[in-house]
Structure 1
């Protein structure tokens, strides 16, 4: 755990503080039990004692009651401190994860061909210019109504979102996922249990009056769906595909991706989520990645797969693969999907357990983005644009757009 904290760039001393608190919890528990047993034994002696002895025993019983109360308080305090410190620890980093920060990822594979727009005789437009010409994106009125990083999808933009969501859900359903429409507001335990109230808390919207949190991903309500339940081994794997609005404060990203809809405060997303036996977690992780690669290949997007470095994993993931699509006007790959193996980290915190015969243990949870809508729209518009400002529709989406093959610019 110390090595894992070091790899994450987190506080190593937290491990020793937790061990110390846990030792205090254990010793105070033993002390409480000893005093309670002594109190019970004394209670049996008092009725049988003589008048002279009884007065002394009652005096001792009073002192013992005070000691028991103090020991109980100390035990409770130590237990709370242990839990508080334990919740600050991230998941154990997988030994094969590259160590380092955001830029220290390892490229595992690349797919598709990057277009040479120069050879085609025109300069590519960015997604916002294309989206405005298509009557698909309106960030100006989004900012007027809600502020920066908000937007409207209009006309074919709204239809394109619905097509993406329906196509993603269709792929997930065919792969055996159960479609889910999930709550966007959750209680603190659900947010904390999934690991989003630690280092990620700055990006979470909190409604203080009601003590609810707005989810940044349907991973949160999907992980908490079986909270405090014991699932039988025969039920696994359980796979859900959740569709929900997502809300992120994007704190710490001032000045980054301010143009268009690549980095926004509210967006819709289709998320895959799996409950599996711990020994099946690594294989399930690869399956989630394969479904993401299938999706991006169907959208005819050039992309690369990276093994995310330890300092960029987030608290709950032991390992994470990102699929990054090529964005022509930025001249680089940008994240479109993530697939994370959380092992038993979330299950332990949310008390989701597996019964296999007589054995009961925490199971493993995994999550994978299938379609984060705005970023996917960015990639489609830029990669499939044509010289006249129109955008070719990938074949996989055409059945969900009434057979439309091209999105045409609209008259102003």
Structure 2
């Protein structure tokens, strides 16, 4: 079929896909309904005709039934192709989003803190962690292959301290803590916009048709899929602390060094479901970004906020702001947080609606999310920025109550 070939070959522009496939599907549907009506008419006629006349009519009915099956199959194919094509359509970006082709054209909005100028030969987090006896990458690789690691002793305690601080920070902001599955079904991945397109980066469990989630955004957002909430129940503000898994296919060089981009990590994610109100969404995104900035400031990490350009936005993101922490070993900023708003992109795919309090038809919700803390990536600036000339590492005071101390002593300093 021409429409199917156009869809799968890419010859048909996505903006024309819906109208062309819709027209084809409607035509086929009309044909199907006409054939069904004809079959019903013949069935009624059979009652009123002589037995010797029924043979020809029965043969005609069999042919019509076969034609009907063919039309139904064709209509089903067009409908499936239409749905598959529509699932790849991106969300139109906010008019305020800067134009650009990739992350090099993201626009810096502000910075916080001072980038340090060490008076000694500073080490990277891999060397610091090894010297302190808290990080062992070679043995992590031995256990599970590349981009794996072991955090030992104070390294494991530091990771947990960061995550516990993140949870405490967000519960104080009124967010509810949720414990969510890390194995999710295809509908969750598709509903939140990770499928189609993100299959290559996702670990699958084919035997059970489940997938290891790369972020708790997926289960958090999908909790109310297929539901119609009351407007009085909005907004829903939740956080989750969960292990996350990503294949990270196609990343090399400094992106793969040390703890920056690994296959397994922990993350505290903030997620909000709210009303279909653009002004509200814009204001809420600002609040969520502020929550993350306050957290990074408490960790005394210099950072910058960038307005992500059109070419670096995800499929469903209307606007996104990234927080990038200063990482001395990289000699640059490294992304640690992404605050995104989706309008109704995810809600439509998840069929997530609410009843307006003033009456009227149910409307699709707006959804937003943002990182609170992702480890071990945050350990990179914490170790590198806190290093001392004698090999010790001084941690920010905000972690003392969760860590029990702020000094990681170098056992070899003598």
Give the structure-1-normalised TM-score: 0.90
How big is the shift at 1:264?
A: 0.8
Identify the residue that residue 237 of structure 2 maps to in structure 1.
239
Structure 2 CA distance for partners of 1:353 and 1:330, relative to 1, 3 Å: same
Query: Pick from 364, 368, 389: which aligns with 2:391?
Result: 389
Identify the residue that residue 106 of structure 1 maps to in structure 2.
107
Unaligned runs of 5+ in 2: 1-9
Residue 83 in 1 paired to residue 83 in 2? Answer: yes
Query: Pick from 375, 378, 381: which aligns with 1:376?
Result: 378
Identify the residue that residue 367 of structure 1 maps to in structure 2.
369
Could you give the per-residue CA deviations for residues 242-287 of structure 1, whole angstroms, max 9, x where no partner exists?
1111111111112333332111111111111111112132222212
How big is the shift at 1:361?
A: 2.5
After TM superposition, list the pairs within 5 Å mapping 1:42-191 onto structure 2: 42-49=42-49, 58=58, 60-99=60-99, 100-117=101-118, 121-191=119-189
Take 1:338 and 1:385, find their aligned partners in 2: how far apart are those partners? 27
Of 296-305 and 313-322, deviating more is 313-322
Of 387-396 and 98-107, deviating more is 387-396
Of 369-378 and 70-79, deviating more is 70-79
Could you give the per-residue CA deviations for residues 191-227 of structure 1, whole angstroms, max 9, x where no partner exists?
1222223333321112233322111111111122112
Give RMSD over aligned pairs. Answer: 2.2
Helix, strand or coil: the match of 1:140?
A: helix
Take 1:410 and 1:12, find their aligned partners in 2: how far apart are those partners? 65
Could you give the per-residue CA deviations for residues 2-22 of structure 1, whole angstroms, max 9, x where no partner exists?
xxxxxxxx9982332343222
Could you give the per-residue CA deviations for residues 44-92 of structure 1, whole angstroms, max 9, x where no partner exists?
4443456677666555544443333233222211111111111222222
Q: Tell me if structure 1 keeps the 8 A contact 2:176–2:239.
A: yes
Identify the residue that residue 248 of structure 2 maps to in structure 1.
250
How big is the shift at 1:304?
A: 0.5
Structure 2 CA distance for partners of 1:302 and 1:210, relative to 1, 3 Å: same
After TM superposition, list the pairs within 5 Å mapping 1:165-314 onto structure 2: 165-279=163-277, 280-314=280-314
Helix, strand or coil: the match of 2:47?
A: helix
How big is the shift at 1:358?
A: 3.8
Q: Tell me if structure 2 keeps the 8 A contact 1:316–1:346.
A: yes
Q: Tell me if structure 2 keeps the 8 A contact 1:200–1:314.
A: no
Q: Tell me if structure 2 keeps the 8 A contact 1:347–1:364.
A: yes
Take 1:221 and 1:253, find their aligned partners in 2: how far apart are those partners? 26
Q: Tell me if structure 1 keeps the 8 A contact 2:201–2:246.
A: yes
Q: Tell me if structure 1 keeps the 8 A contact 2:98–2:309.
A: yes
Identify the residue that residue 14 of structure 2 maps to in structure 1.
14
Take 2:302 and 2:368, find their aligned partners in 1: how far apart are those partners? 25
Q: Tell me if structure 2 keeps the 8 A contact 1:198–1:315.
A: no
How big is the shift at 1:375?
A: 1.2
Of 194-203 and 78-87, deviating more is 194-203
Take 1:386 and 1:88, find their aligned partners in 2: how far apart are those partners? 50
Helix, strand or coil: the match of 2:286?
A: helix
Could you give the per-residue CA deviations for residues 307-335 of structure 1, whole angstroms, max 9, x where no partner exists?
11222212221221100011123221110
Take 1:379 and 1:409, find their aligned partners in 2: how far apart are those partners? 18
Of 140-149 and 27-36, deviating more is 27-36
How big is the shift at 1:127?
A: 1.2
Take 2:168 and 2:233, find their aligned partners in 1: how far apart are those partners? 23
